[in-house]
Amino acid sequence: MDLEYNSGWKLHPIGGDTGQAYMGTKAEEKLFLKRNSSPFLAALSVEGITPRLIWTKRIGNGDVLTAQEWLNGRTLEKEEMSSLAVAQLLSRIHNSENLRRMLTRVGGQEIRPTDLMQDYQRNLPLDLKNHSLLAEVFNHLMHTIPFTDSSLLRVCHGDVYRKNWLLSDENRLYLVDWDSAMLCDPAMDLGVLLCQYIDRSSWEEWLSHYGITLTEELTEKMTWYAAMNYLSQIKQHHKKARFHKMNQDIIRLQELMQHKK
């Protein structure tokens, strides 16, 4: 492999959608290596949000290779997503002015609801476009677009599924895989996380640990982003022929919208 030849590291692919992540070994060293990570990674490492960044280098084919410390640990279980630690870490990220400044500096995009809708509609397969439930949901979202104040845009992870929460053997929690990082309304991350993992009866308590009060307006906004996320996920599953996962998300989307009525 060119990457091994250029870097001098023995690479062991790690599962994931991008195919860009590896466990790298050289002599007695073991590191987490990734091609073309976001330049935002350095700021996240300094803040202790992700495992420590060791080095960054450009290799012969033009790719940028980043190396982070290898941590033994595991991803969170579904029931652990309601923990105080998750709420507090996400709050730290959303409220960090330093992270916001650094993401802006490296070209982080400001994403608004209309951007998400346009991205979903772009090259949408005909069978999804004609799907009665998906069309109905999209039409509803189009008529209930939440107001977005530019001053409220914060660093959002954009993919807060449990697979991206790493609990080290030293019981330290990290949020990893920042390729989808953006400047957005925090309700996007919150909506995806709460609607996916936390019973509605516990939303108020969880958000109190996060540091805000649950309101009707916030509930509407989080539900909007959660529904929009399901639509985007369904489109991605369709593109990659993961039809079982696609149908699972269609069912979850239907349940979300029924609960809203």
Which amino acids are annotated catalytic? 159
CB 137 within 8 A of CB 209: no
Instruction: Kindly state the tokens that stand for 93.
Output: 């990220």
CB 175 within 8 A of CB 182: no
Q: DSSP letters along 219-236, please?
A: HHHHHHHHHHHHHHHHHH
> How big is the CA angle at 163 (ends 230 and 75), to the nearest 5 degrees?
155
Q: What is the rounded distance in angstroms from the CA atom of residue 181 to the CA atom of residue 38? A: 8
Tokens 């860009």 found at:
20
CB 128 within 8 A of CB 238: yes
DSSP 3-state percent helix, strand, coil across the chain (nearest 5): 50, 20, 30
Task: Please say whether the dihedral angle defined by the alpha carbons of residues 181, 184, 188 and 189, taken in this order, is positive or negative.
Answer: positive
Q: What is the rounded distance in angstroms from the CA atom of residue 156 to the CA atom of residue 165? A: 14
Tokens 């929460």 found at:
165
The helix-helix angle for 216-239 and 243-260 (nearest 10°) equals 160
CB 191 within 8 A of CB 223: yes
